[in-house]
A and B are shown apart, each in its own frame.
Chain A
Amino acid sequence: MIADKKNIDLIDSSGNKAAKAITVENIVKTYTVKKTVVDALKGISFAVEKGEIFGIIGPDGAGKTSLFRILTTLLLADSGKATVDGYDVVKDYKAIRNRVGYMPGKFSLYQDLSIQENLEFFATIFNTSIEENYDMIKEIYQQIEPFKTRKAGQLSGGMKQKLALCCALIHKPSVLFLDEPTTGVDAVSRKEFWEMLHQLKLQGITILVSTPYMDEAGLCDRVALIQKGVILSINTPKGITGEFGKPLWSVKANEMFHLMNSIKADPEVESCYPFGQYHHVVFKSQENVKEKLERIAREGNYTGFEVHAIEPNIEDCFMALMNTHNP
């Protein structure tokens, strides 16, 4: 709830909504599945500045795709208001369709058409041509151009993604919506992809990108952490880690599972969760914390015990925010 209040302040303080690339106010969306109502979005609000890379970070089922579909005029929200590039998503949907690029989460180009044919097709349905906007896609397209007669279905994941990005960019959109663009793509392609996004940002395009990968949050200008249709926090990546507020400890031993149980048994421990090879631990009070952990290790006869004080990252913040929202 704290986060929601902040969002509203953000919009009010700017005063002039037209200056924003995207504004979202109290958007609610529910689905009815077999008579049970599922809340996909529970009244979320935020605003995206022009020329910003704004990340929507959250696990699967957080409501990311519903939000994207509402903003790209594919889905009607139950209530709330949203604008894209100053246009209302309900009233001015036609104007929006001319100026946004959308890359859905699933690779959705024609598998049986070649790279060039796909690109030509998407250029045509947006009433433009490849030649007209070639400068827009040049840098990305050059990487896949050697294979331009190859069918899209036969491309590698990274190339498919570049092609999809070209197709979303071919009509010079002012706002780009990328729904989980890096899901199922290898680490190298992911890195390349983010570099491309930063290039596009330099051309003045506003990018709204969603991802379930917390490590990508640091590459955005600002991020919104979203879970179960609620925004937990909106800030710069640094700001979010700065909000963490408490020292974080990372511990390791050869008997990880038992270690977790013994740490959780301590009443002073606020939270303890597995994180890669380590457990991350936060204490309620910060006195003699290291000694406490070492004592637990001694009493439990843990071997290979290690303890470090570490800087929290976005995932730690997400876990902490999740705990405060769902105690």
Chain B
Amino acid sequence: MRVLKFLLQKELRQIFRDKAIIRVLFIMPMIQLLILPLAADYEIKNINLGVVDHDHSEYSRKLVNKIISSGYFRLKDYSPSFEQGLHAIEKDKTDLILEIPAKFERDLVKENEATLLVAVNAINGVKAGLGGAYIQGIIQGYNQDVRMQWIQFPRINPQPTIEVTFSDWFNPNMNYRVFMVPGILVMLVTIIGSSFASNNIVREKEMGTIEQINVSPIKKWQFILGKLIPFWMLALVVLTIGFTIARVVYGIVPLGHYITIYIFASIYLLAILGLGLLLSTYAQTQQQSMLVSFFLTMIFNLLSGLFTPIESMPAWAQMITKFNPVSYFIEVMRMVVLKGSGLSDIRYHILAMLGFAIFFNSWAILNYRKRSG
């Protein structure tokens, strides 16, 4: 125990002596939490609209005005023909063309029916999907307005209509920040856990100090715990800073208990640190370990459900997320913060995470050799 205590002391001393690391550790979460949630906005605004109006009627003008006044669209191009409108899309001036045919007003009044064409630039899939949906919604609203003007509804509606009202549970105002901030916090803790510890061991390899440790009677578990515990503590400190920022800046208070999150985070960090240690037993230089952990955290984060819902991924990608510790933590975060889940609700997540922790750490210990072939 005395040896372990001394190892920890030495490790913490070295960490706190390295000003650059300390700065990165404390400034990185602050910057990321202050900038990313504000920038990573799921609502699409400022869609550039091109209009090709062959009708030039009162109705067509009204429609265009209604679309623009929604706040989602900016009128960027007004072309006389579809070809010219398409040209504007090709030049990236507009994202979406609304073509209003000639006789739009006449058809609408006389035949009670008119057609419109919406063409969307689908290079940015999210923008295309949401822009298309928004414009459809607005046109539908316009349609309702027109009907209201014209028809005096009979007491009993001749056509049955279904009206949908909805309320968003757990996040009533659809505040995406409540949704993003805990996720970004997970990402941060993951980066610290996976790369800092592995870089630290590889640095001992590069400096040659590991040779001195390997010739000593120190036990493998002492050495590995001596590396694991300091970064485990550091990551929990960063998590705490993150929660403080979330609370002070974004007013995010978890519905569930902080304790639930911390219990899960402790196990999660064991798994992620284990992965980092495993990398370090294979890597020979800090560059190698940096690149591999960068690659892994990138994949883990993109496949974690932080940015895109796991449910909308293809089946094979959903299978991969089952082996991605980050996706478990993000789910747990959102469950506890938004839904107020308790320990019993996340028991399967905890079990899975324990599995990851045991798997990575035992592999790391087995692969760490004090002597080479």
- Residues of A at the B interface (CB closer than 8 Å) are 72-76, 93-94, 97-98, 100, 102, 104, 106-113, 117, 120-122, 124-127, 167
Q: Is B157 part of the binding interface, using a Cβ–Cβ cutoff of 8 Å? A: no
- In the complex, besides A74-B215, A124-B6, 16 extra interface pairs with C-beta distance below 8 angstroms are A74-B214, A74-B371, A97-B217, A98-B217, A108-B207, A108-B208, A109-B209, A109-B212, A110-B10, A111-B207, A117-B10, A117-B13, A121-B6, A122-B212, A124-B3, A126-B216
A112 and B212 contact, CB distance less than 8 A = no
A72 to B371, CA, bound (A): 9
Given contacts A76-B373, A113-B10, contact A124 B2 (CB under 8 A): yes
Range for the number of chain B residues in contact with chain A: 20 to 34
Select which of A72, A113, A127 is within 8 A of B13 by beta carbon.
A113
Q: Is B266 part of the binding interface, using a Cβ–Cβ cutoff of 8 Å? A: no
A125 and B216 contact, CB distance less than 8 A = yes
Tell me the residues in window 355-373 of chain B with beta carbons closer than 8 Å to chain A beta carbons. 370-373
- Inter-chain contacts of B10 with A (CB < 8 A): 110, 113, 117, 121
A167 and B217 contact, CB distance less than 8 A = no
- Inter-chain contacts of B217 with A (CB < 8 A): 94, 97-98, 125-127
A104 and B14 contact, CB distance less than 8 A = no
- Inter-chain contacts of A110 with B (CB < 8 A): 10, 14, 207, 209
- Inter-chain contacts of B212 with A (CB < 8 A): 102, 104, 108-109, 122, 167
- Inter-chain contacts of A109 with B (CB < 8 A): 209, 212
Within the complex, the shortest CB–CB distance from A248 to chain B, in Å, comes to 40
A126 to B222, CA, bound (A): 13
A98 to B6, CA, bound (A): 18
A104 and B208 contact, CB distance less than 8 A = yes
A121 to B11, CA, bound (A): 10
A108 to B210, CA, bound (A): 8
A113 to B216, CA, bound (A): 19
Select which of A72, A76, A120, A124 is within 8 A of B215 by beta carbon.
A72
A97 and B215 contact, CB distance less than 8 A = yes
Given contacts A100-B215, A108-B208, A122-B212, contact A93 B3 (CB under 8 A): no
Query: In the complex, which residue of chain B has the Cβ closest to the Cβ of A96?
Result: B215
Select which of A76, A97, A112, A117 is within 8 A of B216 by beta carbon.
A97
A111 to B208, CA, bound (A): 11
Q: Is B218 part of the binding interface, using a Cβ–Cβ cutoff of 8 Å? A: yes
Within the complex, the shortest CB–CB distance from A323 to chain B, in Å, comes to 35
Interface readout for B196-236 with A: 1 if CB under 8 Å, 0 if not? 00000000000111011111111000000000000000000
Within the complex, the shortest CB–CB distance from A112 to chain B, in Å, comes to 5
Within the complex, the shortest CB–CB distance from A103 to chain B, in Å, comes to 9
A76 and B371 contact, CB distance less than 8 A = yes
